[in-house]
Structure 1
């Protein structure tokens, strides 16, 4: 995301959508793409450790990238957004 103003607008819109479409607590599916590197994948997996998350990984056909699908029960939209912000600190990660 280009700048902080756009990022905050995105998260505000996401929170509104989550409040309007789900009952909380609720199951949530995160999807991330990261350059294939064990340390980056492990870093993201650790962020969901002890949360009861089910994590599926799939490496791209050329092996350059790995997608992570993370199914986890979240308490509310603020918790969902906080986790997106935490994962965004991993270098090269793309949130879908």
Structure 2
């Protein structure tokens, strides 16, 4: 678990007193080797997904807005995405 890496995110999320809340995940991933599908598979099924490709189609920005029930849910998805090589978390 990479909890230290996401300590600031966890802290900011824990400050929120109104759960569940609407959260926006943003990732940039290389458009190769099924990485877009890997990231998509991590995101909540009930979330609103949008994709934006770079002009060269080399990278894809993935945005997902979803109602999340806890900071742990958000951190878990973020940590899993962080394990995919080449994925940037915004």
TM-score (norm 1): 0.81
Is 2:27 the partner of 1:32?
yes
> How many residues are treated as equivalent by the alignment?
90
Counterpart of 2:56 in structure 1 is 62
1:15 and 2:10 are equivalent in the alignment: yes
Of 22-31 and 12-21, more deviation after overlay is shown by 12-21
TM-score, normalisation: structure 2: 0.86
CA RMSD of aligned residues (A): 1.9
Q: Structure 1: state its 5+ residue gaps.
A: none
Deviant stretches of 4+, over 4 Å: none
Q: Whole-Å Cα distance in 2 between the matches of residues 10 and 21 of structure 1?
A: 20
Pairing partner for 1:91 from 78, 85, 89 = 85
Q: Going by fraction, where is helix more abundant, 1 or 2?
A: 1
Q: Distance in 1 between matches of 2:55 and 2:17?
A: 34
